[in-house]
Structure 1
Amino acid sequence: MKVLVIGSGAREHAIAYTLLKGASVEEVTVAPGNPGMELDGIRTLSLNPSNQAALIDFVRNNDYDWVFVGPEVPLIEGIVDALAAAGIKAFGPSKAAAQIEGSKDFAKRLMERHNIPTAAYRTFDDLRSATDYVNEHGAPIVVKADGLAAGKGVTVAMDVETALDALNDIFVDHRFGSAGARVVIEDYLEGQEFSLMSFVNGTEFWPMPISQDHKRAYDNDEGPNTGGMGAYSPVPQIGQDVVDEALETIVKPTVEAMASEGTPFVGILYAGLIATADGPKVIEFNARFGDPETEVILPRLHSDLGQAIQAMLDGEAPEFTWLEEGTTLGVVLAADGYPTNVLKGAKVPQFKTGTDSHVFYAGVKREGDDLVADSGRVLLVEVSADDIPSARKKVYEILDNADTAGMFYRHDIGAKALQA
């Protein structure tokens, strides 16, 4: 098969790389991709993911079998609907179904209607009423821009002043643009967070192994929220009983709810969850693979990803076989200043990797013979090992022995698993 992957980050690199590992997919093009992907023999194409007409023409003119949509923005813009209208198969949710990520208020209302466990919340569209609520409620409290904010629109405020500053960022400084036209303010939940992603086809779903993302920019969970600074899988401190409960009380009723309300979900449903004393609860839903979780989950897949997606697109049951032993762990290398004031241009080193490690590239561009940092998150180094201590030792040997001047990374990815 020939497959077009839409997107440009390390997530799409991992998707394309995994598709090519299977026997069913012969050629993958990523639009627009990045030059780091080309090191793995992946073709890239300079097409804007929001240019639906150009993407449709390319697929038609080059006989691609189907399209995998990686990022949230084209999904929320309705690329899957446009492809379907053109007679092209695509794996991803419709514009209506992608609202589960596009609007936190939409997701919260859906969960409220169907008794899906999540934090109590209120939605506001003006500064005064939101401020009054925060002052009345007190802290800790969580403030979220309603729309897409590239993983940076969430403030976990441990004091009222921080929450009010977050509201000011959203309503006065318009830091998140139209994504901040409304805010969702939630009760703070205590517990270990984990990511549970599933392949979904209507009311049927096939869960992946769980992972844990590290959102804060710096060690010890300090600094601002980012799109993610690293991840690992599995998560030993989260028991299988918690995962089973999440599948039964969260994932299953969510996909059934969306189907019953006329917005059936097809694609990757990401459930960002927290294991509380009262059981697992939803922090957020995404309508696509998480990043950086994808880069540590897909290396655990032994079966043919392309074949499985083709089966789902044909209305058949897919087959997934996952690595049951060992650990996969990935650390993000980010440009200095990320996420608030990104400093581009640092030279990206050539990493010494082997059969049990890989580099997935994100924000890079080519200058002569070199790759240089061109965005906040530059790349992710992923390793596979017998256990978390071995994986941590291996990944930090790779990073610590490279010249990463002008960039930074966290040194404690996976540490929470060792404290369990």
Structure 2
Amino acid sequence: MGQKVLVIGSGAREHAVAHTLLKGDSVEAVYCSPGNPGMERDGIRTSQLAQTNHAALIDFVRENGIDWVFVGPEVPLMEGIVDGFAEAGIKAFGPNKAAAQIEGSKDFAKRLMERHNIPTAAYETFDDLDRAKQYVTDHGAPIVVKADGLAAGKGVTVAMSVDEALEALDEIFVDHRFGLAGAKVVIEDYLEGQEFSLMSFVRGAEFWTMPISQDHKRAYDGDEGPNTGGMGAYSPVPQIGQDVVREAIETIVKPTAQAMVDEGVPFTGILYAGLIATADGPKVIEYNARFGDPETEVVLPRLESDFGAGISALLNGEQPEFTWNTEGATLGVVLASEGYPVDTVTGAPIPDITVDDDSHVYYAGVANAEHGEHQLLASSGRVLLVESSGDTIEDAQRKVYGILDGLDTTGMFYRHDIGAKAL
């Protein structure tokens, strides 16, 4: 008999995690809380329980004979859901509240890197608007302004002018656009180079890296428009050499895992390192304490080993096996609601999408229409992601856009240039 697993979360990332778990022989059933109705098309069972209702989730695990839990999003991790499961004697894969600070506070992460000589941009932290503005004026642009806490991927402004940086500070301190996440701000030097995401399975000082990927954060083609949670991604990233990846593992991933152990906050879970390949080598832009979205939807399809068996081994103190497809490429494009991420207009009907064995649809912000189980409607900013694998990035790109361009996407939009930097 295979294991029963609960995945916490509701987005395309969690859909990809649950779908990949079901592919392996070790997992027999996957529940997702709260999940979304699009996931059910892949045999994933959804529970409707909110990811914030820790007591109800603990009861659900006990009542349904769940073997272990995988926590997808950052908010429940910061709220200590893993600590709650541990107290209840339930195995959950993800960092505890103390270790999740590596994402929950930019200031915590920057101080950690400073203490352990992990390469990152020079920075200052401020909790006072006037001092922050003075620093920006003295320092000049380009410069990067970040709300200290969680802001759903939208609390970062890469300001190409001083005025833009000052405006970002007003949004954080005066308009309170990011609420408590903006009680402090980190201002750092602008780094030049191509960004890439390096995710690893981590258990204390041990880690197992995944293939790298590149995310597209801006809303519109040509990297125009506001920052979003991500509009598409691809893997691998051919313009980032293996020597750069090896250096990043040695100078960033390894010392970060060790630093967390040394500081008494050992990390177990997915450590996401958002990196930039500068002329001086790879440097850290940010850490996440969980899988990136949409990177997960293009990295996990490259996994050849049994995903559930790997996580189970990590949770049980055994040596996991993770093997990856090193040939070809995988590319994914997000379909988003009109106006996302600023004035999102939801409710657009989702067309039926037919895909072959090389492609998959991962659903995110969808809900059932009131009449008719089979009609899905867009219910949030990012609606779904279409992913394809091919012999090359160009090949995968052609497949994805062949699917998307044939759909009626009224009330929604997508970028037409995902993967273009690699061609």
TM-score class, shorter-chain normalisation, is over 0.9
Match of 1:297 in 2: 299
Deviations 1:206-257 (A, max 9, x none): 0000000000000000000000000000000000000000000000000000
Which secondary structure state, in structure 2, belongs to the residue aligned with residue 26 of structure 1? strand
Q: Deviations over 1:387-419 (max 9, x none)?
A: 01111111111000000000000000000001x
Match of 2:290 in 1: 288
> What code does the residue aligned with 2:234 have?
Y
Indicate the residue corresponding to 2:34 in structure 1. Answer: 32
Code of the aligned partner of 1:342: T
CA offsets per residue over residues 299-327 of structure 1, 9 Å max, x none?
00010000001101110110011011000
Counterpart check, 1:386 vs 2:388 = no
State the Cα RMSD in Å.
0.5
SS of the counterpart of 2:322? Answer: coil
Query: Which residue of structure 1 aligns with residue 410 of structure 2?
Result: 405
Q: CA deviation at 1:293?
A: 0.1
Which residue is equivalent to 1:228?
230
- Residue type of the alignment partner of 1:408: F
Following superposition, the deviation at residue 48 of structure 1 comes to 0.8
Q: How many residue pairs were aligned?
A: 418
- The SS at the match of 1:355 is coil
2:190 to 184, 188, 191: 188
Cα deviation code 1:246-292 (max 9, x no counterpart) = 00000000000000110000000000000000000000000000000
Aligned position for 2:109? 107
Equivalent in 3, 9, 19 of residue 5 of structure 2: 3
State the AA in 2 paired with 1:42. I
Q: Distance in 1 between matches of 2:405 and 2:260?
A: 46
Identity %: 77
SS at match of 2:399: helix
1:179-258 aligned within 5 A: 179-258=181-260
Provide the residue aligned with 1:335 in structure 2: 337
For residues 306-350 of structure 1, what are the alpha-carbon distances to aligned partners after superposition, in whole Å with 9 as ceiling and x for unaligned? 000110111011001101100000000000000011000000111
Match of 1:311 in 2: 313
SS at match of 2:311: helix
C-alpha deviation, 1:352, in angstroms: 1.8
Corresponding residue number in structure 2 for 1:83? 85
Letter in 2 for 1:343: V
Shift of 1:45: 0.5
User: Is 1:60 matched with 2:62?
Assistant: yes
Aligned counterparts of 2:379 and 2:148: Cα–Cα separation in 1: 28
Q: What letter matches 1:396 in structure 2?
A: Y
Residues of 2 paired with 1:148 and 1:89: CA distance? 25
Aligned to 1:123: 125
Structure 1 Cα separation of the partners of residues 400 and 62 of structure 2: 42
Can you give the 5+ residue segments of structure 1 that lack an aligned partner in the other structure? none
**TM-score normalised according to structure 1 size:** 0.99
Take 2:50 and 2:400, find their aligned partners in 1: how far apart are those partners? 33
Q: Which runs of 5+ in 2 are unaligned?
A: none
Q: Which amino acid aligns with 1:312?
A: L
- Could you tell me how far apart the structure 2 residues matched to 1:25 and 1:118 are? 39
Q: Structure 1 residue 62: deviation in Å?
A: 1.3
CA distance in 2, matches of 1:50, 1:96: 18
- 1:349-402 deviations in Å (ceiling 9; x for gaps): 111201000000000000033101100000000000000111111111100000
The residue identity in structure 1 corresponding to 2:310 is A
SS of residue paired to 1:186: strand
Question: Take 1:301 and 1:284, find their aligned partners in 2: how far apart are those partners?
Answer: 24
- What is aligned with 2:278? 276
- What secondary structure is seen at the aligned counterpart in 1 of 2:27? coil
CA distance in 2, matches of 1:173, 1:349: 38
Instruction: Name the residue aligned to 1:137.
Output: 139
The C-alpha deviation readout for 1:55-89, integer Å capped at 9, x for no partner, is: 00110111100000000000000000000000000
Large movers: runs of 4+ above 2 Å: none
